[in-house]
Chains A and B, each alone.
Chain A
Amino acid sequence: MVKLGKFFKGLYVVLMGIFLYAPIFTLIVFSFNAGKSRAKWDGFSLKWYAALFQNQTILQALYNTIIIALVSSLIATLIGTMASIAMNRMKKLPRQVMMGITNIPMLNADIVTGISLMLLFIMMDFALGFTSVLLAHITFNIPYVILSVMPKLKQTDRHVFEAAQDLGATPISAFFKVVLPDIFPGILSGFLLAFTMSLDDFVITHFTKGAGVDTISTKVYTELRKGIKPEMYALSTLMFVTVLILLVFINRRRDRQNEAQKI
């Protein structure tokens, strides 16, 4: 009975895994397809990988995607962490107002956020382009940082910060020596969440982008119509494999460390 239950549990996990990975597997298979077609197999070939590194537009889109994700999540982390520290010390009402507004981009539909920012840029006569996309990404990234840092700040003991100052530390060094290490995991998870969200965003970029500025997502959306260039499959495969290897590698190291700690 127990065994049967275990079997079904295992089966369920595997089936869900298949559901989630079937399209990824499809993309990987088609990245090795000699033909251009999305539906028929014309034999094995690596030519799309070679073509990928010749394709300036895709590389440029990849570059834009990574730079926008990196820069926007860094700036968002800085602004968001500062704001969190300030908000933590505020009285209840202003804090609640600020948290309320912070929640808007998180809870609102992407399409509304994107449109509202587009209207802003056009009203301000601000040319749509790389910078407008970057500003938009910072905007929707900050809330992720704040929502990750705030709980950690609440957990830290205020008195420790004050005690450090009583013992002669300046507020700044007290912050770096006492508070920062405590909230660092929160900052980090906020940064990574922001990075992931920025990397995967399509809708907001779609509305705030200008001429010739494409991220991977918007590039795919344009190409969807005419048929995706197989180079795109090759790129996704490479990105996916990189993340996968990274993950396995990190986990291995962690296990080893765990074992070392046990001894």
Chain B
Amino acid sequence: MRKVRRVLAVLLILALAATCFSACGKKSSGDDQVVYVYNWGEYIDPDALDMFEEETGIRVIYDEYETNEIMFPKVQAGAVAYDVICPSDYMIAKMIEEDLLQPINFDNIPNVENIGSIYKEMSEEFDPGNKFSVPYCWGTVGILYNKTMVDGEITSWSAIFDEKYADNILMIDSVRDAMGVALKYLGYSLNSTHEGELEEAKNLLIEQYPLVQAYVVDQVRDKMINNEAALGVIYSGEAIYTARENEDLVYVVPDEGSNVWIDSWVIPKNAPNVENAEKFIDFMCRPEIALLNFDYITYSTPNVAAQELIEDEDIRTSKTAFPDDEILHRCEAFVYLGEEMDEIYNAKWEEVKSGQ
């Protein structure tokens, strides 16, 4: 009987805890207005979501992914129907081709006029006619290095293949980005479909494997701030944040050129709440909201009205946040290469990762 009482005590407390937390943990759900948002991890200011919920009464059901490749199968399988997703350029092209997206009715998104026309032009590459996407963030891929841990200034991708920095390199753990970096260093297009070039890039990455401390995507941020490594391949958006936390960190787009990317809002074909999705996208295009998000996630915003609102002049004119034409000229956007090519890229990357 002792055992019984002891267990009852445990259950009682758990039940109490559960009711308590259910009381404060559950959001008020009076009506059924919801919007399912699927976004990159840490890619929005939670306050912006709260403000949206408060203003519209639409509950945001929010989910996160780490890479485009993780997001795609979930959406394709259709096991979860999302209303708004934020994929990158080449993935949008793939989703358009797979017929997973629906054209956006821009009449319901008046704030789209805040998006700079140059970004709409850039979007033409993967979304001809700007029918399916609304730009949310953009940036470049480059090297983040710690001034105190490297010799002199870094200007070339060669640094991340340099034995000098063995065990001090953080490589990006994403197929297209990693292969793209290698291809660019070798002087090829990062959209290469040439077997010989890809093989060369693969071999370069295999040679790099012993030098790499870890393959990471988002963790690069914490590791660089904590001085765990000298160099890391990183998205430009993280550079502002990391420089804020550790002033020895410098971001550079290497001379050989790199990738310029755009992440845009899209509405999948099977979205159950299209109207709410439009409201959500429109809300995110407001200058104040775009600024709020920029301050929080530090990824460059294509919202020109928001760009003007940035108070800190260093950031407003920062080449990291808003690279000039000279840098952009060196950069190339990813193009969707087709399913067969995807598989070849994946197989090559798998070989690299297993350290063969």
Chain A residues close to B by CB (< 8 Å)? 37-40, 53, 56-57, 59-60, 62-63, 66-67, 70, 121-122, 127-129, 184-185, 188, 192, 210-212, 222-227, 242, 246, 249-250, 253-254, 257
Contact = CB atoms under 8 A, between A and B. Distances in A.
B80 A66 contact: no
Interface in B70-92: 77, 79-82
B79 A222 contact: no
Nearest to B8: A188
B81 A212 contact: no
Q: On chain B, which size bracket covers the interface? A: 35 or more
B96 interface: no
A67 B24 contact: no
B218 interface: yes
10 contacts: A37-B222, A37-B245, A53-B24, A56-B25, A57-B62, A63-B18, A66-B14, A67-B18, A210-B79, A227-B219
A128 B79 contact: yes
Interface string B1-35: 01110110110011101100110111100000000
A37 B225 contact: yes
Contact of B222 (A57, A184, A185, A227): A227
Nearest to A40: B226
A40 B4 CA distance: 45
B6 A254 contact: yes
A127 B81 contact: yes
Contacts of A40: 226
Interface centre among A67, A212, A250, A254 (most CB of B within 10 A): A212
B67 to A, nearest CB: 10
Contacts of B222: 37-39, 227
Given A37-B225, A67-B18, A70-B14, A129 B80 contact: yes
Contacts of B81: 127
B61 A59 contact: no
A26 to B, nearest CB: 14
Interface in B181-228: 216-219, 221-222, 225-226
Given A37-B222, A128-B79, A188 B4 contact: yes
B42 interface: yes
A242 B38 CA distance: 34
Nearest to A38: B222
B64 interface: yes
Contacts of A56: 25, 27
B69 interface: no
Contacts of A227: 218-219, 221-222
Interface SS majority for chain A: helix
Given A212-B36, A226-B219, 14 more contacts: A37-B222, A37-B226, A63-B18, A67-B22, A70-B15, A188-B3, A192-B7, A211-B61, A212-B63, A225-B41, A225-B219, A227-B218, A246-B9, A246-B13
B21 A66 contact: yes
Contacts of B24: 53, 59
A123 B126 CA distance: 32
A121 B80 CA distance: 11
A70 B22 CA distance: 13
A51 B307 CA distance: 30
B80 to A, nearest CB: 4
B351 interface: no
A63 B66 contact: no
B12 to A, nearest CB: 10
Nearest to B245: A37
Given A37-B225, A121-B79, A246-B9, A62 B219 contact: no
A135 to B, nearest CB: 14
Nearest to B13: A246
Contact of B219 (A192, A211, A224): A224
B77 A122 contact: yes
Given A39-B226, A211-B63, A63 B25 contact: yes
Contacts of B218: 225-227
Contact of A222 (B26, B41, B216): B41
Contacts of B79: 121-122, 127-128, 210
Contacts of A223: 41
A40 B228 CA distance: 12
Contacts of A129: 80
B4 A184 contact: yes
Nearest to B10: A246
A211 B42 CA distance: 16
B2 A185 contact: no
B4 A210 contact: no
A70 B9 contact: no
Contact of B21 (A59, A210, A212, A257): A59
Given A127-B81, A129-B80, A257 B2 contact: yes
Given A63-B21, A225-B217, A211 B38 contact: yes
B42 to A, nearest CB: 4
Name which of B77, B79, B218, B226 has the most chain A CB atoms within 10 A of its CB. Answer: B79
A11 B226 CA distance: 34
A39 B227 CA distance: 10
Nearest to A245: B13
